[in-house]
Structures are given as C-alpha cells and as structure tokens.
Amino acid sequence: MVAADSERPNASGVSELLESRLSSAFRAPGIDRLSPRMFRRERSIPLRGSAAALCNNLSVLQLPARNLTHFGVVHGPSAQLLSAAPEGVPLAQRQLHAKEGAGVSPPLITQIHWCVLPFRVLLVLTSHRGIQMYESDGSVMVYWHALDAGDASLVQAAFARGIAASGHYVCVGTWSGQVLVFDIPTKGPNIVLSEELARHQTPISDIATEPAQGQDCVADTVTADDSGLLCVWRSGPKFKLLTQIPGFGVPCSSVQLWQGTIAAGYGNGQVRLYEASTGTVHVQIDAHARAICALDLAPEVGKLLSAAEDTFVHIWKLSRSPEDGYIEVEHCHGECVPDTQLCGARFCDPSGSSFAVTGYDVAEILRFSSI
C-alpha cells in the first residue's frame, strides 16, 4: 500500500508523457546517456501482501517467447508469484507457503528464486524449515529438504538463504555457512543432495553463477556470507574452490558474476568488483548511503543494477580496459524511489532496458523502463 506514491504517477503522468514524446522526437544514437532521465516509471503491479524486509526480495523470470514476465516476492510466512504482460497487467497469481513445523509462529520464507537449468526451470523457496523446489509455475512441489538445526536451533535460528543454478546443479546456502549442492535430473523429482560445501563460517547471504564457457578451472559460482567472505568455485561433480576473497566485517548481501568479474554489494553501501580468477579487487564504488539490498546483471550488455535501503537504484556499465584488460565501470543512471526502503531489484530483460524493484512494507512491484 503506497497511497502517497501511487498518486505520483497520476499527477505527473502528463509531464512524463510529454517527456517521452520529446525524447523520442529528438532521440539520436548515443544521446540516451546524456538525457537527465533515461528511465520512466511504468505502471506498478499490485501485490496481495507487502514485501518483507529481506535482501534480494524479488525474483524475475523472463519468458520472451510468451511475452510474459514472472515475478516472485516474499511477504513473510508466504510468498507471491505472479505473471504479467508487458503493460504490467497481472495475469495469474499464486501464493506459496513454507512447510509448517514445530515453533511458535508460522515459518518465515527467506527467499524465492527461479533456477534456470539447461533443460528445465525450477522455482526454489527457502525458509526457516528447509528448501522447497517447485516446477517453474509453483504448481507442483517436486522436492523438499528439511534443515537439521540440531542443538544450534536453541540459540540460533536455522534457515536456508542464497539460491543459484550452475549447470545441472542447484546451490542453496544455509545459516551455518554450508552450501548444499543438489543434482537435478532432466525431469522428475529424483533430486539428490550431491555435495555440501563447508568453507563459510557465517550464514550464506547470496550465491551467483554464470554459464561456464567450457574451459576448465574457470570460475562459474560465487558464494557470499554475512561476514563479507566470498568463495569462488568451479562447479562440477565435485565443486572446486578456486579462491577466497576475505570480508571486512560487513555482510555481503548480494553478489553477481559476469564474464569473470564478480560484483559484490555490501552492508556499508559499497559495490566492489573483483577478478574472479585471482580475487583481486579492481574497482571500489562508494555507491549507496545505506546497506545494499540487491544487485543484478544484464548479461547482454554488462550493465549492473544496484539497489539499497537509501531509496536509490543505480545502473552501472561494466567493461574491460582495452589497454590492460582491467575491469572498469561507468555510472549510467540513478533513480530515487521516494520513501521506499528497497529490498529487491531485478532487470526485466537481458539488455537491461527495464527493471523492477520492491520495497519493505510496499504492496506493489515498481517498474521502470528506458525511454
């Protein structure tokens, strides 16, 4: 519910329309970056429940063939899935719940994320009870993994968090710092826990992957934790640890991997870019005034999206220096979402020309697309 915010598009609708006409009339190649507003607020998608204050609390699955986009947002004890047409009209909705268990209150969901595997798409939901894997539309639960909290649960809450797919594996992080690797069959529910990676000492916060280019020993998976430590892996029947990037006492809330570059967003508002193969830091951006809640990458163009609790979204262009091959970055766009403590942000297309954000306590998905 954002009564105050929802008035804004109506009030400024005319000027936005004018702005878009003007810009399209005068548009010329290369001018986009110079225009003061590269993105325009589109119609919001209403949610049944507001978004919970969790990092990476928005998952987007693009289905260009059907001209549809799936969105997933965690409300608290439930999560909402919906698919929307390009105009933002919600077409189908579904509510998912964490499996019940012992405890005072219904278990809270920590994250939902679509895992795009080479041959199938799974929707993975993590909670304080365990890991639930569904067919991509959330209709059928194909796998359930209960967390074994043991004695630790008396002093520490057990949960799973951090979800990513690498090859035919789905990696899920846990509160203890372990990363569970599941081997996913081409079809059916015969999912097997194939490996447990134990290199982190604090809760896993996020996991990033990118399709390997076929070479051996190329980093394709990065795991991040609450102390800021990053572990860089090569996936396979046995995951190989390539390098570790030490933290500095600040949680790394979100991580992305693109063409050998790791982008990590931290609780102190910084974004750091590392060389995945060596772990060397190449760029340090004082990007936000509050904790970063989400990063996303548009793989076709190397654009990085960062969103934070300071109500700002920034878009960055990553590249390699033609002279020495070092990672470089350029600021492309900044957008304030007034009075919204952002908690999720995703690009909605591979070229980075549209993105969506969610905010704590806000019962809608806010969408932006380039003019």
Partner 1 sequence: MSMRTLPLLFLNLGGEMLYILDQRLRAQNIPGDKARKVMNDIISTMFNQKFMDELFKPQELYSKKALRTVYDRLAHASIMRLNQASMDKLYDLMTMAFKYQVLLCPRPKDVLLVTLNHLDAIKGLIQDSPTILHQVDKTFRQLTDIYGGLSAGEFQLIRQTLLIFFQDLHIRVSIFLKDKVQNSSGRFVLPVSGPVPWGTEVPGLIRTFNNKGKEVKRTEFKHGGSYVAAPKEGSLELYGDRVLKLGTNMYSVNRPVETHMSAASKNLASQTQESIVPNPLAKEELNLLARLIGGMEIQKPSGPEPGFRLNLFTTDEEEEQAALTRPEELSYKVINIQATQDQQTNQELVRIMGEFEITDQSRQSSSKGDDWLAMMDEL
In this structure, are residues 225 and 203 in contact, taking their beta carbons and an 8 Å threshold?
Answer: yes
- 74 vs 197 by CB, closer to partner 1: 74
In this structure, are residues 109 and 125 in contact, taking their beta carbons and an 8 Å threshold?
Answer: yes
Interacting residue with partner 1 among 227, 235, 353, 354 (CB under 8 A): 227
Q: Does the footprint of partner 1 cover residue 97 (CB under 8 A)?
A: no
Interacting residue with partner 1 among 24, 67, 105, 213 (CB under 8 A): 105
Residue whose structure tokens are 């595997």: 117
Question: What is the nearest approach in angstroms of partner 1 to the Cβ of residue 329?
Answer: 6
Question: What is the nearest approach in angstroms of partner 1 to the Cβ of residue 202?
Answer: 6
In this structure, are residues 120 and 131 in contact, taking their beta carbons and an 8 Å threshold?
Answer: no
Interacting residue with partner 1 among 30, 64, 246, 338 (CB under 8 A): 338
Q: Does the footprint of partner 1 cover residue 355 (CB under 8 A)?
A: no
Q: Does the footprint of partner 1 cover residue 263 (CB under 8 A)?
A: no
Question: What is the nearest approach in angstroms of partner 1 to the Cβ of residue 193?
Answer: 25
Interacting residue with partner 1 among 178, 202, 277, 319 (CB under 8 A): 202
Total chain residues near partner 1 (CB under 8 A): 69
Interacting residue with partner 1 among 106, 167, 236, 350 (CB under 8 A): 106
Interacting residue with partner 1 among 157, 192, 193, 241 (CB under 8 A): 157
- Residues 160-179 close enough to bind partner 1 by CB under 8 A: none
In this structure, are residues 106 and 100 in contact, taking their beta carbons and an 8 Å threshold?
Answer: yes
Q: Does the footprint of partner 1 cover residue 10 (CB under 8 A)?
A: no
216: tokens are 């051996």
Closest CA to 109 of 119, 95, 120: 95
Q: Does the footprint of partner 1 cover residue 290 (CB under 8 A)?
A: yes
Question: What is the nearest approach in angstroms of partner 1 to the Cβ of residue 276?
Answer: 14
In this structure, are residues 91 and 45 in contact, taking their beta carbons and an 8 Å threshold?
Answer: no
Tell me which residues touch partner 1 (CB under 8 A).
Answer: 1-4, 48-50, 52-54, 75-76, 103-106, 108, 128, 154-157, 159, 202-203, 205, 225-227, 249-251, 253, 267-270, 278, 280-291, 310-312, 314, 324, 326, 328-329, 331, 334-336, 338-341, 360-361, 363
